[in-house]
Structure 1
Amino acid sequence: MTASDGLVANLRRAAELRGLDIGLPPWAVDAVGIETTRGYLSVGTATGEGVLRLRVHIPDFGWDIGATDDLGTLVEAIAAWREEVPVDVLKRRFGFLELDEFTRALEAGEPTAAQWAVLLSSAYYRGQRDLLRRLHGDEVLRNAFPTMTHRSVRLQVDPMYWMSRQVLVCEPEEGRYEVRRVRVPAPDWVEVPGEALIATLRAALYDGQEESAGR
């Protein structure tokens, strides 16, 4: 089952045998981007022959939620996830799943606050902590979903929408900031004075429509 087409065929066959819908359309050639209300699911091979890894994705961010060599159990877990079975029930029903606090926040529709908490408390991002604190301290920007990209902070308006507005901001030297909008023409880095940073980021993300920030 290491070949993509073989994996998809086996997943589809296992689901059909159990009368389950795992969200694979007839034209699917890989098991990536299975749409659900709690992000996208993907299935891939993990370390070890015959072991399959299940991941959850939201735009520009993904994490493993378990691995198993039991194809039947895997398709049952995918179907249950798509049916919005509560996280606590999923954990009890499928022992291979590893569902953390971020998954619970995603279930509750509150991934942004949870992600801010993770980044602000992470020792790995200690060098960006002052910048993260400054961004989170703004009542509008703290509603944008944050991720880290090569030591830059990526802010995204809607974490569940691939084409949602995004902006990157970094602090190459203390007190000096650079900003780059994502998926727009001429996406070069632009140096921004510290006193204009928050206003620049607000405009790039919300274009003056700050009422959308609290979605």
Structure 2
Amino acid sequence: MDTHRKDLYPDVTAAGGLVSAMKEAAKLHGGEIRPAPSTADAITIETARGLVSVVPATEERRFRVRVHVPGFTWDVSGFTWEIGSTDDLELLAQAVAAWREGVPFHELAARFTFLELDEFVRALEKGEPTSAQWADLLSTEFHRRQWGLLRRLHEDEVLRHMFPTISHGAVRLRVDPFDGACHQVLVDEREGGRYEVRVGVLGAAWVEVPNGELITCLRAALNKQ
């Protein structure tokens, strides 16, 4: 952190960096954050509602907060929202801890007035991360081999609301775009119009599914997990 930024963030410097400073600030108020590996001047926290990043401004004392929902496509694209900024480190740490703990959005907005959640919440209500991900996969040449299967899945009124990704050539459908461990299935199109399906459980086996039973099988697998 350069001299100018040290002048703006003496508390961060004294704590040994932003990670340490935020951990201590959260702990003082009974909260907890678990940062992913970060740079000295920024911090990223993995949560069930996406990746929360905090970046200190250089021109003034201001902690900028963003939320990123990874797309998990071949180019590691995704969706990012700016959700506010504050100059108060303790208030920031409390807000991030509350976000990580799953405090409802309306409560977050009431308790932490620096957060600007309207655009983020509207995007979730409209299913924008999911619809944008479908559009991306269906238009990216890198995934041309999966286009036929993707179109077939997207045509189903239930499956099109699942969050799609590509994993080693197979299409993965997740119930929750934020949660990589939520209900999910993988489906791989093989030669000769055959399909293999694997329920998203560690160590589960691939099972061949007849062409005409594919959609029914995927719906059932997602419903009973």
> Do these two structures clear the TM 0.5 threshold for a shared fold by scoring above it?
yes
Q: In the alignment, what sits opposite 1:98? A: none
**Correspondence 1:198 to 2:204:** no
Structure 2 contact 69–78 (Cα < 8 Å) conserved: yes
Cα distance in 2 for partners of 1:111, 1:139 equals 17
Cα distance in 1 for partners of 2:88, 2:79 equals 16
**Correspondence 1:56 to 2:62:** no
Structure 1 contact 12–24 (Cα < 8 Å) conserved: no
> Aligned residues: percent identity?
42
Aligned positions of 1:39-118 closer than 5 A: 39-43=49-53, 56-57=68-69, 63=78, 65=80, 83=109, 84-85=115-116, 105-106=123-124, 108-118=126-136
Question: What one-letter code is carried by the residue in structure 1 that aligns with 2:217?
Answer: T
Partner-residue secondary structure (3-state), 2:208? strand
Deviation of the 1:122 alpha carbon: 1.4
* Greater Cα radius of gyration, structure 1 or 2: 2
Cα pair distance change 1:8/1:145, threshold 3 Å:
same
Q: In the alignment, what sits opposite 1:33? A: 46
Q: 1:138-194 CA distances to partner (integer Å, 9 max, x unpaired)?
A: 12211211111111111112324454310000113251111000126x511111111
Structure 1 contact 59–161 (Cα < 8 Å) conserved: no
Give the RMSD, CA atoms, in angstroms: 4.5
Q: In the alignment, what sits opposite 1:127? A: 145
Deviation of the 1:10 alpha carbon: 3.8
Cα distance in 1 for partners of 2:146, 2:177 equals 21
Q: Greater helix percent: which structure? A: 2
Cα pair distance change 1:27/1:202, threshold 3 Å:
closer
| Structure 2 unaligned blocks of 5 or more | 2-15, 37-43, 56-65, 82-86, 100-107, 110-114
Partner-residue secondary structure (3-state), 2:190? strand
Structure 2 contact 174–180 (Cα < 8 Å) conserved: no
Cα pair distance change 1:145/1:26, threshold 3 Å:
closer
> How high is the TM-score relative to the length of structure 1?
0.58
Question: What one-letter code is carried by the residue in structure 2 that aligns with 1:205?
Answer: L
Cα pair distance change 1:121/1:73, threshold 3 Å:
farther
Partner-residue secondary structure (3-state), 2:31? coil
Cα distance in 1 for partners of 2:176, 2:33 equals 28
Cα pair distance change 1:26/1:177, threshold 3 Å:
closer
Structure 2 contact 35–46 (Cα < 8 Å) conserved: no
Cα distance in 2 for partners of 1:178, 1:114 equals 26
Cα pair distance change 1:108/1:11, threshold 3 Å:
farther
